[in-house]
Amino acid sequence: MHNRKLILSLKDINSNKKGNIAAIFSLSNGYMGIQASDPITGANDVGTLVNGFFEYSPITYGEPAAFYPKNNQTIVSLPSLRKIRLLDENNHSFNFSELKNISLDLSNGQLTEVYEVSNQGGEKIEMTVASAIDQKKLAFYGIKFSFKPISYQGKLVVDKHYKIERKNNDGVGEVEDPRKTRLVKSISKHIISSDDFREVIKIETKESQQSVTIEGYSTSEKMLTKRALKTGFDITYIYKVSEGVKNKGVSIEQNSFDKIKEHSHKFWEDVWNQSEVTVSGNDEINLALHFNIFQLNQATGRDGKTNIAAKGLTGSGYEGHTFWDTEMYMLPYFIYTNPEFARNLLIYRYHTLTFARKRAKELGIKHGALFAWRSINGEETSAYYPASTAAYHINGDIAYAIGKYYEATDDDDFMEKYGFEILLETARFWREFGSWTEKGGKKQFEFLTVTGPDEYTAMVDNNYFTNRMAENNLKLAYTVGLRLAKSNQKVFDRLNSSESELREFHHIADNIYFPMNAQYQINAQDDSFFSKPVWPFNKTPKTKYPLLLHYHPLNIYRYQVNKQADTILADFLFPETITDSQLRREFEYYETITTHDSSLSRSIFSAVAARMGKVNHAYRYFTDTVRLDLTDLQGNTEDGLHLANLGGSWLDVVQGFAGMQVSSQGLLKIIPHLPAEWDSFQIRLAFKKRLLDIVIDKSQTQIVLLSGDPMEIVINQSQQTLTKIIKINN
């Protein structure tokens, strides 16, 4: 990070609400997350999340129908590892008084907080909390409490024992806001063992039959200790969180707070070496960008069996579910900075194929797979199919990400073991779920009763984005399949495919129907979109946004109104399918009817505007995107950070302002558009086993090959051979 410490503190966020602080300053490592809740008055039984640890609860329908999902899945909030009780020598509690400072060092992942706490007599002490999560031995978390007298001079009692709340009610509590989570009640908590220096508790779910063991260990003082403050003292605790049989082999005594901090520091050093994005000329934006990348890395499941929840491990919003957000908004960052993480995220989808095949059969598809719209383990959990199962573009989203990963890595091993099977099964779904029709005297293939990315337009025919994703999916299956048929026939045969099947995929792709609007000469969002009236924006008060919380879905569905980028997202993903003039018309039309009620929206409008050369326009969207959670723009940061938006801010810089694309010939392209507010910006990219350092300023673009073989690269439409360094005038 260029020897420049980037530290996020209270002055860098707009809201000091406890929930916002807990989410923004949370620590996680893809396996578990620790919210930065107040350790004195924060909840005792919530604050820790384990990726993939969830509970079932039945979905109640007023009018059930065939093959509706039967169960919710809700991530379980586990006891806080930060919670502590402080008592004076008269057994009176010290309570929260003031958070004096909190700082998160993005260079090493260490969190430092300073609290002022007081007893009922108004006597005060200062409590400093230093914590870090292990980025190598993922089960471990360390926290050190330092106590200093302010006006209290007596003995201080420090109690770090768990207080188990035995409320083992069945079921879950319902919520009105679909973005929030249910309260899980059908879990049990038991103290397994407890002594002076150690305590072990076990949490078990009733329905999903999962378990987590939390072991706490004091490295010096007892778990319950009483000491004179004098000049102050420290107590350090190590926690180990084990799910099922995971992490059983590493003893808690084998780790230390210093080791945890060392592992964290090394991890972040490697992250920034691979994926540095630095803005010169705006420190606020630069800090926000680093924070977003930091949290994106923290949230990511690394074992091939867990993914990235919509809120990561910063909060339980959206119940800890994974959506299409991963492939469309977050995976690009990993593909071009940490391909190993990208590979594991895609392998997660492979491990859910059994559920996806079952779901396809439930929709009448004999051969093929349909991935869940929202899930933790791969089972569909969404009770509202018009905005979930009908959004079967998820298949194409996953296939698109596989294609981009393969394009950037040439990872034949992944494609042979995992990737092609997903491409094949999703292509088979498109073949069976679509239908042939006669349009304009031509036989074409279409997809009916579908919901695209825009959740304010549901159950329509021929959503443009969906059809474009299907086309790409079918062609990918064709090209990869032909390659495998020649290079590894055993894989091809094992999946019962044939070259005639591949040719059928290609024939369908060549004849997919794409709706157009003749009046505006733009891609129509779907067949019926332009027959609807435009939403009455001038009569809608600001207090009625987001629309989904104030209007019945059928009211919204009757209008031209977009929750988020839809056709514009397709234009972003497939830039070579549209001319500059049509893109400009398309952008201007859809922009006027988009509410950006989804946090997924602004980043795409920013990236597309930047590519069009509308840099000032793009920058306005970008400033909202890059600081969305730091400003609580959506009003629900306390439920967890908006992980897709964090990835979107990286897309804006790299694929928007730097104009990074991969051409149809497989060449990396850089077409820079420097915002007027910046002096320069620097990015690092991994591409085909090479690491590039790219600096764009007002006069030139410089690209340095840090590692790997020479390569052909396109800068400002000029193809160059990069052997070590290239400088091109902008």
Q: Which of the residues are catalytic?
A: 455
Question: What's the rounded Cα separation, in Å, for the pair 106 and 116?
Answer: 25
Could you tell me the two tokens for 85? 């009780």
- Contact by Cβ (8 Å): 342, 411: no
Q: Is 30 left (phi over 0), alpha (psi -120 to 50) or beta?
A: left
Angle at Cα 562 formed by Cα 561 and Cα 565, nearest 5°?
155
Contact yes or no for 189/201 (Cβ under 8 A): yes
The residue type found at 437 is: T
**Which residue's entry shows tokens 């290079």?**
487
The DSSP H or E segment spanning 278 is: strand 277-280
Residue 66 — φ and ψ, nearest 5°? -60, 135
Distance of CA 235 to the CA centre of its chain: 35
The count of other CB atoms within 10 Å of the CB of residue 318 is: 23
Name which of 322, 380, 323, 426 is nearest 68 in CA terms.
Answer: 380
Burial 578-607 (b: 16+ CB within 10 A, else e): beeebbebbbebbbebbbbbbbbbbbbbbb
| DSSP codes joined into one string, 13-63 | -S---HHHHHHHT-EE-SSEEE----TTTS-SS-SEEETT-EEEEEPP-SS
3-state secondary structure of 191: strand
DSSP assignment of 207-249, as one string? SS--EEEEEEEESSS-SEEEEE-TT-EEEEEEEEEEETTTTTT
Asked if residue 546 has a cis previous peptide bond (ω within 30° of 0), the answer is yes
Give the 3-state secondary structure of residue 114.
strand
Say how far apart CA 645 and CA 624 lie, in whole Å.
10
